[in-house]
Structure 1
Amino acid sequence: MNQAMKLPDPAVVAVEDIDVSDSRLYEQDAWRPYFERLRAEDPVHYVADSQFGPFWSITRFKDIVEIDSNFQDFSSEPTIVIGDLTEELPLANFISMDPPKHDVQRKAVQGVVAPKNLAEMESLIRERVGEILDRLPVGETFNWVDEVSINLTTQMLATLFDFPFEERTKLTYWSDLATSTPEIAGGDTDPEERFAGLSECLETFTRIWHERKDDGVETLDLIRMLQRDPNTANMVDEPMEFLGNLILLIVGGNDTTRNSASAGVLALNQNPDQYDKLRANPDLIPSMVSEVIRWQTPLMHMRRTANKDVEFRGKQIREGDKVVMWYLSGNYDETAIENADQFIIDRANPRHHMSFGFGVHRCMGNRLAEMQLRILWEEIMQRFSKVEVVGEPERVLSNFVRGISNLPVRVHPL
């Protein structure tokens, strides 16, 4: 996509010419008025020509829920991102499958986030959060994304995979490579770098798989869980499926928490009355966490592919058409969420949002993400009177991951 071209004026562009797959909208944080137009004027919107080919945009909350819950007519195969898979890496994973295969593969790993295991993880997460926060340079400017958000989520990923702790930054690198090429989400990663990096990921985890096979260790990590389940015990023999599921679990364990950990700091600085409210009543932290996840919408869309011709809200969707559900737009839908354009940490129903999806594909790790963010803010409030944003955030060039790459801050002690 030509970065030099200006974005069209959202007030005057013809509605049929609005293309919300343009990743510059999110890098520049300019997306709101375009989605407002679509929700008001054309909520089931066809784009005939885009960087990713023709597709439908679904932008209202209730319409997204309906499509997300109907895997019979709207399939997750072959992929859930707007761009098509490349021939070099035709990855497969359970989020881009329909039942029953989806259910079988998901079941093999979902025990890692069972309530009992989450309870056991809480003290470890709190200990790590405390160590991260205690090392921050009080009074100096630093990048919150690197020092806190990435640091916390990468440590958690290493634990979930029982991955060598000293090499854990590779997990973040692979996660970023997976979602940032031009063909997939309008990013700017070189496809050759992506291929090399993800090949290294596959080689590394294939070695780990064989090292752990039948080793008798009872550790509850994702690789051993896949090995123990008879339905996934031989997944290593299907390299693209193995790599696809690794990437799914790495991205899922990384992006929601990481970008919400940064977005919370930004949102509270942009809405100082809400920061005052939080300081006055730290019991609002769980509610605030849900509001941050809505406000940020870390994964902005999910794609489905029509299994057959379907009439939906008066529009004719044809078999094979791409149907893109814009969770970001649904989370700002005024007809579904009162004062949706405002950041309010004590909403009556704060978990009423669509950042985790609906139906069979609802996010497996949503409770883990919420727990990590809750603990992070509980520990922040015990140490700092304010995490102050002191410069403009830098955002990721992507129409899939709503990411923040740089957030300059200073922390002020109590």
Structure 2
Amino acid sequence: MHDIDTPTNPALPEFWTQPDPQAAFAAMRQEGAVHWHDEPSSSWFPEGGRGFWSVVRYQELVEVSRDQDTFTSAHGTEIVDMTPEMVHIFGGMLNMSGAAHAHHRAIVNRVLTPRTVEALSDTIRAHARRCIDRVVDKGSCDFMQDIVGDFPAQIICELLGVPADDRPRLVALTGTALSAYGTAEAYDAMLEIIAYAEELVARAREQVDDSASFLRRLLAAEVDGQRMSDHEIAVFFALLVTAGIETTATSIGQGMYALSLHPEQRRNWQEDFHRLAPRAVEEIVRWVTPVMYFRRTATRDTQIAGQPIAKGDKVVLWYTSANRDERAFERAGELDFERPEEQHVAFGGGGPHFCLGAVLARKEMTIFFEELFARLPDIEVSGEPVRLHSNFVNGLASLPVRFSPA
């Protein structure tokens, strides 16, 4: 049972400032797979809401994720209810279902391919070295602010052709859009990102000589004779930027913190980096779970684990809880790079909405930690992390570290 003073409703901002939200999710998993939560008025959502079901266990979350006919994304993936226009702005194809989602995803898959990501390897490595080199002589710094900082942002911006002078503002807007996900402030940030993207897409359309650029290839890509409109590409741009910047930074930052809590895993990885890298990256992503939830909406009367769910009910998939489910992962709270290859749900629980950027995220993390261990081999966490106050991104605002100056 919960302590009487422990917030137990993840709809409330104070749930996310308690010392260990994972303990609250663990208690929920013990009590059942599905829980009802009210949405009272709060500083995040002053108007409150109509309440939602929380899915907190692994098996049930995967089942819901794979059943888009019964649990659709088309009414929004945020907890809060939004107008159709807001749903479109906040997610584009993330908030689509069925044929519309499949069509948009097929077009993007023509361009965002493993070959595209592999071609970015040198760029990723150059940015990793640049980020590390700016602190190598200091001996201590803030890992999030001074090292990770703009690392994934620069790579995404390179991919999308964002001029260097425009990048700081774009990074700031991304932080606002995700840390306050679903709020009016976040919506305004998304609108500004999309407006900027529409200008960039218009410029890309005019630059016919640059046919190899990502945006030019996206403009030209088609499936069944249909292409994405400039506005649809701009909305996808916003999705890729917000997803690709904050989530990778979160995985690297929280990953560094996880390594500090499991020094034997870190030591093993440094001693045998390339053998362990694929499993290490997957295990870090599981342990961190950078995106903590997405919502679905029931399209008909149904049930989850015996719990009746009414048509129209909101169903929130807590990936951060499912990835710590003791029923699915032995010693789920520990980091273990020799763990069998159970399928975590940090990139989605399977089904049509599996993360499009997973290949890029894995590549960025692998190269970043390889360069970090090579250039600052004794780097260690020297203080407590400061978590972002967010119910969506499991990020860090700050993580103090120290190391031998190069």
Does the alignment reach a TM-score above 0.5? yes
- SS where residue 303 of structure 1 aligns? strand
Amino acid at match of 2:20: A
- SS where residue 352 of structure 2 aligns? helix
The answer as to 2:73 corresponding to 1:80 is no
Amino acid at match of 2:150: N
Partners of 1:206 and 1:118 in 2: CA distance: 24
Q: 1:24–1:397: 8 Å Cα contact kept in structure 2?
A: no
**Structure 1 270/243 Cα, relative in aligned 2: closer, same or farther at 3 Å?**
same
Partners of 1:133 and 1:79 in 2: CA distance: 38
The answer as to 2:340 corresponding to 1:343 is no
Please name the residue that 1:410 is paired with: 402
Q: 2:127–2:155: 8 Å Cα contact kept in structure 1?
A: no
Matches within 5 A, 1:100-119: 100-119=99-118
The answer as to 2:270 corresponding to 1:279 is yes
Partners of 1:154 and 1:249 in 2: CA distance: 11
Q: 1:27–1:396: 8 Å Cα contact kept in structure 2?
A: no
Partners of 1:86 and 1:394 in 2: CA distance: 34
- Of 144-153 and 326-335, more deviation after overlay is shown by 144-153
1:25 CA displacement: 3.2
Amino acid at match of 1:246: F
2:22 to 20, 28, 32: 32
1:312 CA displacement: 2.1
Partners of 1:337 and 1:370 in 2: CA distance: 21
The answer as to 2:246 corresponding to 1:255 is yes
Partners of 1:22 and 1:34 in 2: CA distance: 13
- Of 150-159 and 196-205, more deviation after overlay is shown by 196-205
**Structure 1 317/67 Cα, relative in aligned 2: closer, same or farther at 3 Å?**
same
Deviations 1:269-309 (A, max 9, x none): 12222222223322323221111111110000110000011
1:89 CA displacement: 4.2
- Of 20-29 and 115-124, more deviation after overlay is shown by 20-29
- Of 270-279 and 249-258, more deviation after overlay is shown by 270-279
Amino acid at match of 2:272: N
Partners of 1:409 and 1:80 in 2: CA distance: 35
Partners of 1:118 and 1:397 in 2: CA distance: 31
Q: 1:383–1:413: 8 Å Cα contact kept in structure 2?
A: no
Partners of 2:344 and 2:228 in 1: CA distance: 35
Consecutive unaligned residues in structure 1, runs of 5 or more: 1-8, 186-190
Partners of 2:10 and 2:190 in 1: CA distance: 28
1:383 CA displacement: 1.4
- SS where residue 405 of structure 1 aligns? strand
Partners of 1:282 and 1:181 in 2: CA distance: 36
How high is the TM-score relative to the length of structure 1?
0.87
Amino acid at match of 1:225: L
1:156 CA displacement: 0.9
Q: How many residues align?
A: 392
Partners of 1:321 and 1:275 in 2: CA distance: 43
Consecutive unaligned residues in structure 2, runs of 5 or more: 41-47
Deviations 1:163-220 (A, max 9, x none): 11232122222222222337x27xxxxx3x5455444323322222222225322123
- Of 404-413 and 334-343, more deviation after overlay is shown by 404-413
Q: 2:8–2:15: 8 Å Cα contact kept in structure 1?
A: no
RMSD: 2.4
- Of 93-102 and 31-40, more deviation after overlay is shown by 31-40
1:24 CA displacement: 3.3
- SS where residue 168 of structure 1 aligns? helix
Q: Percent identity, please.
A: 29
Partners of 1:367 and 1:399 in 2: CA distance: 25
How high is the TM-score relative to the length of structure 2?
0.89
Amino acid at match of 2:335: F
1:120 CA displacement: 1.2
Q: 1:161–1:223: 8 Å Cα contact kept in structure 2?
A: no
1:242 CA displacement: 5.4
